[in-house]
Amino acid sequence: MRHEDAWTRLPDLLDDRDDPALLAHVQICADCQRQLFLLARIDRLLRDRTAALGSRHPRMRLRSRPVLAAAAAIVAALAALLALAASQPAPAHALTFHTGSGEAVGQAVMGHSDARNVSVALSAQHLPIGRGKVFVLWAGDNARSSMQVGHFMVDQNGGCRVRFNLPADHTWGHFWITRPGAPSAIIART
C-alpha cells in the first residue's frame, strides 16, 4: 500500500474496520503511527464533546459503537514505543492469560488512569503468529457485558507490551484475546 493511500485511510481504523494492508503499512511507518495516535485523541475529544452536548441536550443520541476501537488500533501500532514500567502506578491487580492448553502467554495489569478511565497494561509473550501478528483484546465485566478493547500487534516472538484505557464505570474482571474477525475463537483468556 502506498503511503499516501494509507495516510488518507487512517481514519477508517477509528471505525474498527479491519484492513490488514493498512495495518501492515502502519506497523512500519512512523509518520502513520503518529497520525493514528493523534486521530485517536481526536476521536476521544469528539466523543467527549458529544457526551457533553448530550448532557445539555438529553434527546441527543450518543454513539453506541464499540468504544476505544480507534485507540486500540493506535496503541497496537505504537506497541513498540510504549514503555509500561515508567508510568505505571501501583496496580490494583494482575490477571494472567492462559491458552486452552494451559500455557501462560501474558498478563493484564489493571491500574488507575484518571477519573473516567482505568488502564490495562497488556504484556504478552509467545502468542501464536502463524495466522498473523494482529490480535484483539476484549474485556468483560461482572454484569456479563463485554467490549472490544482494541487491536494490538505482536513481534516475531508473539510478544508485545501495550496499554489501553477502559471506562471506569464498569468493573472489568476478565479479558480474552482473539484474532480480528473471529470473536468466538478465543486464543487466550484470563
104 near another protein, rule: CB under 8 A: no
For residue 65, the minimal CB distance to another protein (Å) is: 8
For residue 135, the minimal CB distance to another protein (Å) is: 25
For residue 38, the minimal CB distance to another protein (Å) is: 4
Map residues 4-43 to x or -, x wherever contact with another protein holds by CB under 8 A. Answer: ---xxxxxx-x-------------------xx--xx-xxx
Beta carbons within 8 Å of 150's beta carbon, 6+ residues apart: 68, 69, 70, 71, 72, 73, 75, 76, 136, 137, 164
Is residue 31 within a helix (H) or strand (E), and if so which, with residue range? Answer: helix 30-56
Q: Which is nearer to another protein, 8 or 96 (CB)?
A: 8
Question: What is the C-alpha separation between 112 and 97, in angstroms, rounded?
Answer: 20
Subset of 36-95 contacting another protein (CB under 8 A):
38-39, 41-43, 45-50, 52-53, 60-65
Question: What is the C-alpha separation between 85 and 82, in angstroms, rounded?
Answer: 9
Backbone region of residue 140 per phi and psi (left: phi > 0; alpha: psi in -120 to 50; beta: other values): beta
Q: Which residues bind another protein (CB under 8 A)?
A: 7-12, 14, 34-35, 38-39, 41-43, 45-50, 52-53, 60-65
